[in-house]
Copies of this chain bind each other. A is one copy, B any other.
């Protein structure tokens, strides 16, 4: 069978990582044939070195290339919907980084195009592929904890992004919590019916001046009756804190942080173990590989992708509702 030919749209940190993972882990079944980046010069050496044949500064060359089977959309969020539509029209399968967009109508238009064209679409919620969280999902499916009553997600970053990024990020709910909203849907297998969000500016005043908050606690009411809570902070001095707890009538599953080693140092100052892995690139290293494996397998075996367009849409709906909740100081019912 011929290798799947991929076109990479956007070669920033995430785009490069995906390309390198494909080269290393899926070389037998897939290859990046072309890359398009607005700063084509800057990525030229990197791309050549990785064996990517064609390097463009405009994605249209990739869209028009009949030899390309699928695209990886890793460009800035504002380009996602446009690129999805173009790729769908060209019958190319699509892997798109999160979030699809901040605008629900634009997302829906893009998803309709995908549906009409029949191409596969996978959204880049890599945490679903994390070994710990996947294990929790499996154990829930095996009935180990019975019905879910309470879901708790802690997600705290080691440090905030630059203020310039925050200004275009869509706000903490669409940039950061969006992963937790996805995880909430993934683990409960249920939709969120109501959101209530508390937020404050406790980490950096400049975040507040940029119109955002940096510390939030969000409660979720699920259709299946479960209750959920997410807490986020833009800055945790002990590192990237990523914990999940799912409590049901038959038990409770808890995933703690991951560390580089498990060495414990018994010292005169106390019993000291390691801080969590630094940030998402390190923490979800294997998850990024596994999500790409799933995308490639969906194409190779012509089956559904595990993170669909709807899975990309729903967290944006919840995120916008959380934003509104803060603005209005009350819980927001999700209307679909």
Nearest Cβ distance between residue A56 and chain B, in whole angstroms? 25
Chain A positions 235 through 252: 1 when the CB is less than 8 Å from some CB of chain B, otherwise 0: 111100100000101111
Please give the count of copies of this chain that the complex contains.
Answer: 4
Contact call A267/B247, Cβ cutoff below 8 A? no
How many Å lie between the Cα of A251 and that of B239 in the bound state? Answer: 10
Say if the beta carbon of A182 comes within 8 Å of chain B: no
Nearest opposing residue in chain B for A23, CB measure? B27
Instruction: Report which A residues bind B (CB closer than 8 A).
Output: 24-25, 131-132, 135-136, 139, 144, 147, 149-150, 152, 154, 156, 196, 198-200, 202-203, 215-217, 219, 221, 225-229, 231, 233, 235-238, 241, 247, 249-258, 260-275, 329-331
Residues of B contacting A228 in the complex (Cβ-Cβ under 8 angstroms): 217
The answer to whether B262 touches A270 (Cβ under 8 A) is no
Q: For the complex, what is the distance from the CA of A245 to the CA of B247, rounded to whole Å?
A: 17
Partner of A263, one of B135, B226, B257: B135
- A266 near B249 with CB under 8 A, answer no
- For this complex, 18 residue pairs linking A to B, each with C-beta atoms less than 8 Å apart, are A132-B263, A147-B202, A150-B217, A156-B247, A216-B227, A227-B231, A238-B251, A241-B266, A250-B267, A251-B268, A252-B266, A253-B265, A255-B263, A269-B272, A270-B273, A271-B272, A273-B273, A331-B331
Q: Is the CB of B271 within 8 A of A274?
A: yes
Also in contact, A217 and B229, with CB within 8 A (given A196-B196, A263-B135, A272-B271): yes
A200-B217 in contact given A131-B261, A135-B263, A262-B256 (Cβ < 8 Å): no
Q: Are A196 and B216 in contact (CB under 8 A)?
A: no
Is A263 touching B271 in the complex (CB atoms < 8 A)? no
- Distance between Cα atoms of A233 and B251 in the complex (Å): 12
CB pair B237–A251 under 8 Å, yes or no, is yes
Closest B residue to A257 by CB, please name it: B262
Given contact pairs A131-B260, A238-B270, A255-B264, a sample of 10 additional A-B residue pairs in the complex whose CB atoms are under 8 Å apart: A131-B261, A136-B263, A149-B200, A200-B226, A216-B227, A236-B266, A253-B264, A255-B262, A270-B275, A331-B331
Rounded to whole angstroms, the CA-CA distance of A222 and B261 in the bound complex is 27
